[in-house]
Amino acid sequence: MLPLPTLFLSKQLPAAIPEVFARPPYTFGVKNGKFYLNGRQTILLAGEMHPARIPRAYWKQRIEMTKAMGLNSIAAYVFWNYQEPEPGKFDWKGRHDIAAFVRLCGKEGMPVLLRPGPYCCAEWEFGGFPYWLLNVPGIKFRTYNAPYLQQTASYFQALGRQLKGLQASVGGPIITVQVENEYGSYGNNKPYMEAIRKQLSEAGFNVPFVIADGGAQLANDYIPGLIVGVNGGGPHLARWTNKYMPGGPYITTEFYPGWLDHWGEPFIRTEGDTSNYQKLIQNGISISMYMFHGGTNFGFYNGANFSDHYEPHITSYDYDAPLSEAGHPTKKYFKYRKIIEENLGVQLPPVPAAPPVQMLSPFDLRPVGSYWQIASKIPAGKFSATPTFESLHQAYGFVLYRHHFDSAAAGKIVLPKMRDYAMLMLNGKLIGRLDRRLHQDSFDLNVGANGGNLDILVENMGRINYGGRIPNNRQGLVGGVQLNGNPLDNWEVFKMPLHGSRWMKWLSRSATSSGSVGPEFYRGTFESDTKADTFLDPKGWGKGVLFVNGHNLGRFWSIGPQRTMYCPGCWLRKGKNTVVVFAEDSPTVMTLKGDSEPILDQPIKPGT
């Protein structure tokens, strides 16, 4: 057990709210193995949340909920692909405005532990890397590679222009900056780590730099001068810290109160290791809780793992965290709040009210267009071999590959390296589907004497975000197509990214069937007299993507564990609201409803 230091959240302090949280302007530093915030010896009790996973209108409420649980700082990833979706085209608006989020944290008395990457993991698409890096000639990821480091330097320079004026060195709320992320679990290249630290410094970041990794992995990535953060918060934290930074400060950079989830696997519920959290506090060890509030992988931003098979993450990033996906305190929230109150002798602010929720009565949807109606609007061209998403300069969504047979054809079609989910149509009729999770890559084809069109609609279900497969993340029909062992050439290709809302104008205006028997779009409306949250229930719709008032809520899939889709009330209108569903399966119902509670742990369908 480590000796208990004097805490700025101390039992000797009066039980008064002003003593709990710091206020701007901020100062921060390390002295004699201790953290000092605004001149006072401090343990950091951070809660992680990601502004990209939270509607901007709800940032303030989520920060207030962090404070009310007794945490005194916020950890936040910055996702490179979210900030620079295309080369040199940065987005700093709306949920992308990381500077606005940092300023809001500072205003609320919550200093920020910044985690800028360039790699994040975080169950986020490609671990935060932009898809277009795969098009950079000669690039090698997460190593001392000139093409790669040229891109990371450009990103850090742009990020520095947004954030360097918000650091504690000039009175701002950013108190630490992390260098890379869990690199020792990926590689062993100290010159690379030095290069990333240097690039961050050259971009204007000058607060204490932190490293975060498992204790055993620190041998691969620790470089002198970095604060050692040990992920997990286990009993050997002090031993690992002292090996590289004798005497501290001591911090567990990722303490896990919950865990992540994959499609087709049970939702993971945990009690959270509250007893260990209490021991860490009693021993004066700083803690960053990953995640305090997970939020949502809106759109197509979920990533994937790979063990012995491909494992895409679900749309919800609830994480079984203390604060739910929709910003509601859980039983776990109150357990941690009690631990902090009792062990630090502080009076915490009242817990704010959670955002209101509403139920929606079932409302009708009608078919308004087939997959072909949308895809045909964005022809990519004709190709001998099948191009990847990356070579088409498309990040996410769907790509349609069409091959025309002039006459009869039969045999086994093989799609080596198909990524990640394919719907197969012959002359517009659905004839099958292939799922990378299940190692499916072939089907039998029988084309009649008159020939016809073979359509293969491929969906990017999320690039791998962790492990050695990160560089091998191209999407689409990566290995081409074979018929009876021979390459099948000559393809017409169409892009269907379903990004933004412009494409919705191409849907039929009348609610009549398109006559398609393949994947199809449906539209409906519902009335609401309040802008309250709801949880849309696509039961009976199989698999697809759901949009509300132009906002992409993400994927749904009947295999579970997630069933309902979180629909933020701030994205609704009083009165008429429009819902569009891209149904990859033929629905068994033609209605949707809104529930007042989420369903994230429905039973998994056998065989999935």
Q: What local confidence, expressed as pLDDT, does residue 508 receive? A: 87
| Sequential DSSP letters for 426-460 | ETTEEEEEEEGGGT--EEEEEE-TT-EEEEEEEE-
Q: Any alpha helices (H) in 267-375, and if so which ranges?
A: 274-282, 331-344, 371-375
User: Confidence band (pLDDT; 50, 70, 90) for 19?
Assistant: very low
User: In the chain, where are the structural domains located?
Assistant: 17-344, 360-368+500-595, 379-496
Measured from the Cβ of residue 495, the count of other Cβ atoms closer than 10 Å reads 21
Which pLDDT tens digit goes with each residue over 181-199?
999 999 999 999 999 999 9
Measured from the Cβ of residue 304, the count of other Cβ atoms closer than 10 Å reads 26
Considering the segment(s) 17-344 as one domain, its CATH architecture is Alpha-Beta Barrel (3.20)
Neighbouring residues of 443: CB distance < 8 A, sequence distance ≥ 6: 412, 413, 424, 431, 432, 434
User: What tokens appear for 58 in the block?
Assistant: 């709800």
Q: What local confidence, expressed as pLDDT, does residue 517 receive? A: 65
Instruction: Answer with the residue of higher pLDDT: 163 or 515.
Output: 163
User: Confidence band (pLDDT; 50, 70, 90) for 272?
Assistant: confident
The H-or-E segment that residue 466 falls in is none
Catalytic residues: 182, 254
Is 509 a residue whose pLDDT tops 90?
Answer: no
Percentage with pLDDT > 70 across the chain: 95
Which pLDDT tens digit goes with each residue over 532-585?
999 999 999 999 999 999 999 999 999 999 999 999 999 999 999 999 999 999
Fold agreement between 360-368+500-595 and 379-496? yes
> What are the beta bridge partners of residue 526?
577
Fold type of domain 379-496 = Jelly Rolls (2.60.120)
| Sequential DSSP letters for 506-524 | GS-SS------BSSEEEEE
Q: What local confidence, expressed as pLDDT, does residue 235 receive? A: 82
Can you give the pTM of this predicted structure?
A: 0.96
Is 14 a residue whose pLDDT tops 50?
Answer: no
Instruction: Answer with the residue of higher pLDDT: 402 or 5.
Output: 402
d(CA 167, CA 43): 19
Q: What local confidence, expressed as pLDDT, does residue 233 receive? A: 85
Question: What letter does residue 319 receive in the DSSP assignment?
Answer: T
Residue type, 302: N
d(CA 368, CA 195): 52
Average predicted confidence (pLDDT) for the chain:
94
Residue type, 101: F
d(CA 95, CA 92): 8
Mean pLDDT of 330-358: 95
User: Confidence band (pLDDT; 50, 70, 90) for 273?
Assistant: confident
The answer to whether the Cα torsion of 132, 134, 139, 142 is positive or negative is positive
Cα dist from 220 to 184, 211, 446, whole Å: 5, 11, 54
**Least confident interval from 4-13, 285-294, 440-449, 474-483:** 4-13
- For domain 360-368+500-595, is the CATH number 3.40.50.80? no
Which pLDDT tens digit goes with each residue over 417-473?
999 999 999 999 999 999 999 999 999 999 999 999 999 999 999 999 999 999 999
Which pLDDT tens digit goes with each residue over 129-150?
999 999 999 999 999 999 999 9
User: What tokens appear for 579 in the block?
Assistant: 């819902």
Instruction: Answer with the residue of higher pLDDT: 428 or 272.
Output: 428
CA atoms within 13 A on the CB side of 154: 15
Instruction: Answer with the residue of higher pLDDT: 482 or 510.
Output: 482
Question: What letter does residue 605 receive in the DSSP assignment?
Answer: P
Neighbouring residues of 588: CB distance < 8 A, sequence distance ≥ 6: 540, 541, 542
d(CA 93, CA 83): 9
The distance from CA 590 to its chain's CA centroid, rounded to whole angstroms, is: 30
Q: What is the CA radius of gyration of the chain?
A: 25
CA angle 308–129–501, rounded 5-degree value: 105
Q: Are strands 476-477 and 482-483 parallel, antiparallel or unpaired?
A: unpaired
d(CA 152, CA 155): 5
